[in-house]
A and B are shown apart, each in its own frame.
Chain A
Amino acid sequence: MPGPTTSSRLLWSVLLLAVVSLALYGTFATVHYSWHWSALWPYRTQFVWGWLTSMGISLGAMVLSVLLGFALMLGRRSPWEPVRLFSSGTVEIVRGSPLLVQLLIGYYIVATALHVNSPMVVGTVLLGIFEAAYLAEIFRGAVESIGASQWEAARAVGFNTSQTYRHVIIPQAVRRALPGTTGELVSLIKSSSLLSVIGIEELVQKVRVMNSASFTALEGYLPLAVAYLIVTLPLSWWARRLERRFAYET
């Protein structure tokens, strides 16, 4: 019954949206904040550049974090002890320490020592490593949730370890890892706002500059939220579609 379900969902969405908007409007009206939207308009190009910077870095970091997270997951499952120790050590240290510290040490000490001067490159790599630690654990949880009988069945048909991962484990694990992975990628996009500490003019930094230059306080932040949402919402939507595509009963 797609008809009634879709229309009732639409109706509820509109109703909830109206209630939330009304509540928000009421709250703003109570504190008598006077808006000066026109003061921001001259800075629109800056805003778009900041947005492009944030999204470019996020995209690069996403690709890197998925690849690296996968490698770390394999590393944690390696039969070779040093590899296992290195991988779990990396995951625990990166996941357990603040991104701010990793950015500062990574850029001002490590990158300087390696003579890498581009903050964009360093920022993308550091953000990618940070999220990879979280993704590695999501991937590991998904892989380890595939039962021993599947490993045995794969061995029984003659698959070696890499064929087993490729044809049996990964296709089933992807579906279980998808919801957690989407959450991490959304969080990555938002974490990119911290990159201003190594001198990258990403979106949040641009808005701060914009607000002080135009003598406004909050005007920049509402477009800022919208600018993130127009990327994160479609990402979540796309992930849910993927989940449905991978759906099958076990």
Chain B
Amino acid sequence: MRLETRQVTKRYGKFMALNEASFQTTTEARVVALLGPSGGGKSTLLRVLGGLLLPEGGEVVVDGEPLPHDPDQALVTLRRNGFVFQGYNLFPHLSALQNIVLPLQEVHGMKAADARARAVELLTRLGLADHQHKRPAELSGGQQQRAAIARALAPRPALLLLDEPTSALDPVMTGEVLDVIRELAEGGQQIVLATHEISFAKKVADWVVFLAHGKVEESCSAEQFFTQPASPLAREYLDGLSRYR
């Protein structure tokens, strides 16, 4: 997969979340990690790459194809991707199973029986077979996040985008969820991952985009980033994170 942004700008009121952010990966990049300090633009870039947010300026190009600027057409792009958020964002009034089945039927036009079979298959794979009829509030944080991953995977997305999927979890649950993501990465799923889990990123990512203050400070192979980062900000960030681990 080849991801590219050209001078992408996104504002929230006066705050510039992305300020002419530009980068491009090589075609071989399969797991792209978005790293950088909080408030640096990781989450916004992730949403822009997946078509969930439309930038005010600039181009996003995925595998040579520019993403549409019109909300209705963006929805078509969006439906090819899967999203997982920091706060799980399951629908609280639906069971884990219904959370997965509903979009499959409504958005992807699957028959009820097929959608259900696909949902059960994924929940079983992610260790949630016994919890499929529980509502989100009855699940632990790690279980909720795995259900959210199952929902994102159900329509077989071209690109799975995960926005700090473990930031709200304790270390044990973080481990559960990272295991799942690692398995997906090893299974060939194309992934964009915004995270603070540096050692995890080191293990699974093959490309790193480092953001700070809404700009891309560095975009290079993961190997190069973790051994000899070029930008001083990235060096400082890595030093700060590795101090206690």
Contact = CB atoms under 8 A, between A and B. Distances in A.
Interface of A: 149-150, 152-160, 163, 167-168, 171-172, 175, 246, 248-250
Contacts of B102: 157, 167
Given A150-B91, A172-B92, A157 B107 contact: yes
Given A163-B107, A248-B137, A156 B92 contact: no
B189 to A, nearest CB: 17
Given A149-B85, A153-B91, A167-B91, 12 more contacts: A153-B90, A155-B75, A156-B152, A157-B102, A157-B151, A158-B108, A160-B75, A163-B107, A175-B93, A248-B93, A249-B138, A250-B137
Contacts of A172: 91-93
Contacts of A167: 91, 102, 106
Given A153-B90, A248-B92, A158 B135 contact: no
Interface in B118-134: none
A157 B83 CA distance: 7
B91 A152 contact: no
B231 interface: no
B107 A153 contact: no
A163 B106 contact: yes
A10 B216 CA distance: 68
Contacts of A249: 92, 135, 137-138
Nearest to A172: B93
Secondary structure of the A contact surface, majority rule: helix
Given A149-B85, A152-B52, A158 B90 contact: no
A64 to B, nearest CB: 27
Contacts of A250: 92, 137
Nearest to B87: A149
Nearest to A246: B93
A153 B89 contact: yes
A150 B136 CA distance: 13
Given A172-B93, A248-B93, A156 B78 contact: yes
A168 B78 contact: no
